[in-house]
Amino acid sequence: MRRLAALAAVAAVGAAVLVTGPLAQPALAYPPTPPGEAVTRDHLAQLTVAPDGSMDGYDRDLFPHWSSQNGTCDTRETVLQRDGTNVTVDDDCRPTGGSWYSVYDAQWLSDSSDVHIDHVVPLAEAWRTGARDWNQSKREQFANDLGSSQLIAVSGSSNMSKGDSGPEEWRPDNTGYWCMYARSWVDVKYRYDLTVSQDEVAALNELLNTC
Show the domain range for 180: 4-208
Q: What is the per-residue pLDDT across 151-189, written as a single tens digit (0 to 9) for each?
A: 999 999 999 999 999 999 999 999 999 999 999 999 999
- Among 117, 139, 159, 129, which Cα is nearest to 59's? 139
Using CA atoms, how far apart are residues 10 and 148, in angstroms rounded to an integer?
A: 10
**Distance, C-alpha 12 to centroid of its chain:** 14
- What is the DSSP code string of 159-205? HHHHTT--TTT---S-GGGHHHHHHHHHHHHHHTT--B-HHHHHHHH
In this prediction the pTM is 0.86
Q: Number of structural domains, the chain?
A: 1
Residues in the chain: 211
Tens-binned pLDDT, residue by residue, of the chain (211 aa)? 444 334 433 333 333 323 333 333 334 457 899 999 999 999 999 999 999 999 999 999 999 999 999 889 999 999 999 999 999 999 999 999 999 999 999 999 999 999 999 999 999 999 999 999 999 999 999 999 999 999 999 999 999 999 999 999 999 999 999 999 999 999 999 999 999 999 999 999 999 999 9
Q: What is the per-residue pLDDT across 1-12, written as a single tens digit (0 to 9) for each?
A: 444 334 433 333
CA 203, 43, 41, 160 dihedral sign is positive
A 10 A CB-CB count for 5 gives 7
Q: Are 83 and 120 in contact (CB under 8 A)?
A: no
- Among 185, 175, 182, 174, which Cα is nearest to 151's? 185
- Among 145, 131, 157, 163, which Cα is nearest to 62's? 131
Q: What share of the chain is helix, strand, coil (3-state, %, to 5)?
A: 40, 15, 45
